[in-house]
Amino acid sequence: MSRLLALLLAVAIAIPAAAAEIGDDGLHKADWLKDTFKDLQEDAAEASDDGKRILILVEQRGCLYCRDMHENTFTDERVKALLENDYFPIQLNLHGDIEIVDTDGD
């Protein structure tokens, strides 16, 4: 019985850890996030062509709320399906050094 409990505990701990992969920029990474050139005008057009809405996630390194979203909300299969089917999700680093082109082309 104690082995089963230990196994269940190990699995419960490993699942959120596996879901919260951290990239070189310190942000949580998910396979459903779109890797774009951060030209929001082009991204919005691509989303529209796919019949989806653009979703911009602004995150920062060490954000506890971002971690909670990635570990608890985004791991829910219903949420993942909604994100993948209805949205074009883009992640922006609040304090990053990548230039972003806004929807006006600036």
Q: Is residue 98 part of a domain?
A: no
Residue 105 has which token pair? 């082309």
User: Would you say residue 12 has pLDDT above 80?
Assistant: no
For residue 15, the enclosing domain spans: 2-93
Residue 4 has which token pair? 């089963």
Cβ-based neighbour number of residue 77 at 10 Å: 7
pTM score, whole prediction: 0.75
Q: Is residue 103 part of a domain?
A: no
Q: Is residue 102 part of a domain?
A: no
Tell me the per-residue pLDDT of 25-34, one tens digit each, with 9 for 90 and over: 999 999 999 9
**Domain count across the chain:** 1
Tell me the per-residue pLDDT of 54-80, one tens digit each, with 9 for 90 and over: 999 999 999 999 999 999 999 999 999
Q: Is residue 105 part of a domain?
A: no
- Confidence band of 104 (pLDDT split at 50, 70, 90): confident
- Confidence band of 17 (pLDDT split at 50, 70, 90): very low
Tell me the per-residue pLDDT of 36-49, one tens digit each, with 9 for 90 and over: 999 999 999 999 99
Cβ-based neighbour number of residue 101 at 10 Å: 14
Contacts of 29 (CB under 8 A, 6+ apart): 21, 22, 23
Task: Annotate the chain with three-state secondary structure.
Answer: CHHHHHHHHHHHHHHHHHHCCECCCCCECCCCCECCCCEHHHHHHHHHHCCCEEEEEEECCCCHHHHHHHHHHCCCHHHHHHHHHHEEEEEEECCCCCCCECCCCC
